[in-house]
Amino acid sequence: MTTAWVFPGQGSQYVGMARDLSEKFSSARLVLDAADSVLGFALSKLMFDGPETELTDTINAQPALLAHSIAALAALQQATNNALPEPALCAGHSMGEYSAFVAAGALDFADGIKLVRARGEAMKRAGAVRPGAMAAILGVDDATIQQICNDAGAVQVANFNAPGQIVISGEKEAIERAVEGAKKAGAKRAIVLAVSIAAHSELMRPAIEDFRAAVMMTPLRAPRVPVISNVTAQLMNEPNELRQEMLAQLTSSVQWVKSVEWMEAQGVTEFLELGAKDVLTGLNKRIAKMATTKPIGTVEQIEKYIAGAAT
Do the Cβ atoms of 66 and 94 come closer than 8 Å?
no
- How many other CB atoms sit within 10 Å of the CB of residue 291? 20
Note if 12 is an active site residue: no
Do the Cβ atoms of 126 and 207 come closer than 8 Å?
yes
Of 224, 226, 278, 288, residue with least CA distance to 256: 288
Do the Cβ atoms of 233 and 272 come closer than 8 Å?
no
Percentage helix, strand, coil for the chain under 3-state DSSP, each rounded to 5: 50, 15, 30
From the list 12, 27, 200, 229, the catalytic residue is 200
From the list 22, 94, 252, 253, the catalytic residue is 94
Region of 277 on the Ramachandran plot (φ > 0 left; ψ -120 to 50 alpha; else beta): left
Beta strands in 49-199, from DSSP E residues, in sequence order: 89-92, 133-138, 155-162, 165-170, 189-192
DSSP labels for 45-84? Answer: HHHHH--HHHHTSHHHHHHHHHHHHHHHHHHHHHHTTT-P
Note if 94 is an active site residue: yes
Q: Which positions are catalytic?
A: 94, 200
